[in-house]
Amino acid sequence: MNPAVRYLTRTGVLLAVALAVQLLRLPQPVTGPVVNAVLLLAAIYVGASGGIIIGLLTPAVAFMVGILPPPLAPMIPVIMAANVVLVLVFHWTGRTNRYVGVGVAAVAKYLTFFISLKYLLVLLKITLPPALVTAFGVPQLVTALVGGALAALIASRFPPESLS
């Protein structure tokens, strides 16, 4: 198969899975890990660029369809940045051991949220309710770890080279 067609097909299918899960409006402890798994599966199966595309589109679509309510609009660029960090750090660190890559990438995503909430939004004088700040803390670390473990398990069962 033409590599460009394979790239577009895989990225499109993974994006569709992520958006479908979001649109089901399942609880965050279900949706978060699945979306994180899709981001990392994209990094595994199509490369960092596929994961980045999905990581940028999912929060924007979630906002457009009302999954992210208007008070969370300032978080859209932060969520996008955290998703990109997750994908890139995993892509760079998960080549030799996916599970180590998942751990490092999950912590990096968590730190992106932490720094953004602690400093960036404060600098921009954007305030969010404390419950929302909490939701973008440790729960994001947990969903990234769970989603990453799920992605690593799927990729070990269906290695990229077996899907050519």
Q: Which 3-state string (H, E, C) describes the chain?
A: CCHHHHHHHHHHHHHHHHHHHHHCCCCHHHHHHHHHHHHHHHHHHCCHHHHHHHHHHHHHHHHHCCCCCHHHHHHHHHHHHHHHHHHHHHHHHCCCCHHHHHHHHHHHHHHHHHHHHHHHHHHCCCCCCHHHHHHCCHHHHHHHHHHHHHHHHHHHHCCHHHHC
pLDDT in the model for residue 132: 73
pLDDT in the model for residue 98: 94
pLDDT in the model for residue 75: 86
Identify the CATH assignment for 3-163 out of 1.10.3470, 2.40.160, 1.10.1760, 1.10.8: 1.10.1760
Kindly tell me the sign of the dihedral angle through the C-alpha atoms of 85, 133, 150, 10.
Answer: negative
| Contacts with 49 (C-beta within 8 Å, 6 or more apart), sequence order | none
pTM to 2 decimals? 0.92
Q: How far is residue 25's CA from residue 47's CA, in Å, rounded to a whole number?
A: 28
CA-based nearest residue to 87, from 136, 120, 38: 38
Per-position pLDDT tens, the chain of length 164: 798 999 999 999 999 999 999 999 999 899 999 999 999 999 999 999 999 999 999 999 999 999 888 878 888 999 999 999 999 999 999 888 999 999 999 999 999 998 888 777 777 777 777 777 777 789 999 999 999 999 999 999 998 887 77
